[in-house]
C-alpha cells in the first residue's frame, strides 16, 4: 500500500526498506542483496539509506542491489550530516560544502543521477540555517533531488526550516524520527507541527531495535546472534530497552497479537501506521524471510479498543518526553 509523503504528490510504500545497521555491517553483501530483492518481490519500491551507514558502504550495497531496476519505479531516500570518510573538519554537518559534496558522493554510490528525497540527518547548530536550506534548494534545482526532508529535528527547527524552504520554493515534505510503541516523543509537538506544515513522518525503529518482537525475555539469556549481542553497534542501540520492567511489559503484548492473528513484529509496525501523520514505517532485515513477514503489517487496521488495550498493557513504560528530541541531538558537529 502507498501513502502520500507530506502534502506532495509523491507516493511511497507505507512499509519502506531501510539498511541502517545491516548492509555493510551486520550482514554479508550477498544476504543484503537478497533482502533488497525480497523487498522488491514483496512490492516495496521505496528504499531509505544514508551516507553514514557503514561509512558509505551501505549506499554502495544498496546501489548494487538495485542495479538494473527501472529507476523511475523506485523511490530512493538518503541523508547527510554525520561524519563520513576520515572525519575531517568538513566531513560532517550541514554546511554548503558538505551538503553539495555529500549528494554527489551518494549519487555515485547509489548508481543514479538523482534521489527522490534528500534529508538532513540531524540539525547543525554550527551552520546558519539559511546556508543549509539554500544548499538543499540548489540540490533540488540542479535535479539531484526531487524533495527534501529532515531527521530528528524538533518542532521549532522544523518550523524554521519550513519557512525558509517555502521562501526558496523547494518542497520540504518529510520528517524521519524514531517512533514506536515504546518511544513516543514525537506525538505532542513534532507530529502536530508537521501536520500543520504539510510534512509526513517516515519513522525508523518501529520495532524498537527488535525489542517489540518479544524475543528478549526478562531474566533470560540474550538470543544468540540477536542485535543485543552485536558488537558492531546493534547492542549499543538496543541497550536502553534491555530492562526487565520493559521486557515484562512487552511480553504482555503477545496475547494481543495472537488475538489478531499477527506476529509481534506485525503488531508493532501496524501500530505506528495507525498515526495519520505517519507515511511509512522503515523496516530492516538480516534475512530475506523477515521482509515477507514485516510486509504483512501493511493495511492492518487496529480497532480503537486494541489501541487502548496496548496502552493499558504498556502502562508508563513508553517514553513520551518531547524534549528528548533536542536533548539527544548533537550540541556540536561530531567531527
Q: Examine the residue annotation and report whether 179 is marked as an active-site residue of this protein.
A: no
Number of other CB atoms surrounding residue 146 within 10 Å: 19
Is 137:94 a contact under the CB 8 Å cutoff?
no
Is 47:77 a contact under the CB 8 Å cutoff?
yes
Is 56:105 a contact under the CB 8 Å cutoff?
yes
Q: How many CA atoms lie within 13 A of 251 on its CB side?
A: 12
Q: How far is Cα 61 from Cα 79, in angstroms, rounded to an integer?
A: 16
Helix axis angle, 155-168 relative to 129-141, nearest 10°? 50
Is 198:9 a contact under the CB 8 Å cutoff?
no
| Torsion sign across C-alpha atoms 154, 156, 157, 158 | positive
Catalytic residue among 2, 4, 17, 53: 53
Catalytic positions are 53
Amino acid at each position: 500500500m502507498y501513502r502520500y509523503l507530506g502534502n506532495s504528490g509523491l507516493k511511497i510504500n507505507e512499509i519502506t526498506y531501510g539498511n541502517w545497521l545491516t548492509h555493510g555491517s551486520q550482514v554479508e553483501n550477498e544476504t543484503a542483496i537478497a533482502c533488497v530483492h525480497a523487498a522488491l518481490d514483496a512490492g516495496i519500491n521505496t528504499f531509505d539509506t544514508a551516507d553514514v551507514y557503514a561509512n558509505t558502504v551501505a549506499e554502495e550495497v544498496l546501489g548494487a542491489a538495485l542495479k538494473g531496476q527501472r529507476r523511475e519505479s523506485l523511490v530512493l531516500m538518503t541523508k547527510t550530516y554525520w561524519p563520513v570518510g576520515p572525519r575531517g573538519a568538513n566531513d560532517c554537518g550541514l554546511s554548503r560544502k558538505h551538503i553539495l559534496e555529500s549528494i554527489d558522493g551518494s549519487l555515485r554510490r547509489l548508481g543514479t543521477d538523482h534521489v527522490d528525497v534528500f534529508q538532513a540527518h540531524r540539525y547543525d547548530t554550527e551552520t546558519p540555517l539559511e546556508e543549509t536550506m539554500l544548499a538543499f534548494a540548489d540540490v533540488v534545482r540542479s535535479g539531484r533531488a526531487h524533495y527534501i526532508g529532515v531527521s530528528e529535528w524538533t518542532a521549532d527547527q522544523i518550523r524554521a526550516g519550513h519557512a525558509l524552504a517555502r521562501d526558496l520554493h523547494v518542497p520540504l515534505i518529510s520528517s524521519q524520527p524514531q517512533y514506536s510503541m515504546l518511544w513516543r516523543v514525537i506525538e505532542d509537538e513534532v507530529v502536530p507541527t508537521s501536520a500543520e506544515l504539510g510534512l509526513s513522518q517516515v519513522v525508523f525503529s518501529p520495532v524498537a531495535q527488535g525489542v517489540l518482537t518479544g524475543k528478549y525475555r526478562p531474566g533470560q539469556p540474550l538470543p544468540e546472534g540477536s542485535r543485543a549481542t552485536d558488537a558492531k553497534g546493534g547492542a549499543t542501540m538496543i541497550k536502553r530497552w534491555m530492562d526487565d520492567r520493559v521486557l515484562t511489559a512487552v511480553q504482555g503484548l503477545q496475547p494481543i497479537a495472537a488475538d489478531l492473528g499477527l506476529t509481534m513484529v506485525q503488531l508493532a509496525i501496524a501500530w505506528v501506521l495507525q498515526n495519520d501523520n505517519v507515511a511509512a514505517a522503515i523496516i530492516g532485515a538480516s534475512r530475506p524471510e523477515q521482509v515477507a513477514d514485516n510486509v504483512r503489517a501493511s493495511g492492518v487496521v487496529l480497532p480503537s479498543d486494541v489501541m487502548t488495550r496496548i496502552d493499558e498493557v504498556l502502562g508508563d513504560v513508553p517514553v513520551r518526553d518531547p524534549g528528548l528530541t533536542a536533548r539527544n541531538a548533537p550540541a556540536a558537529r561530531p567531527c
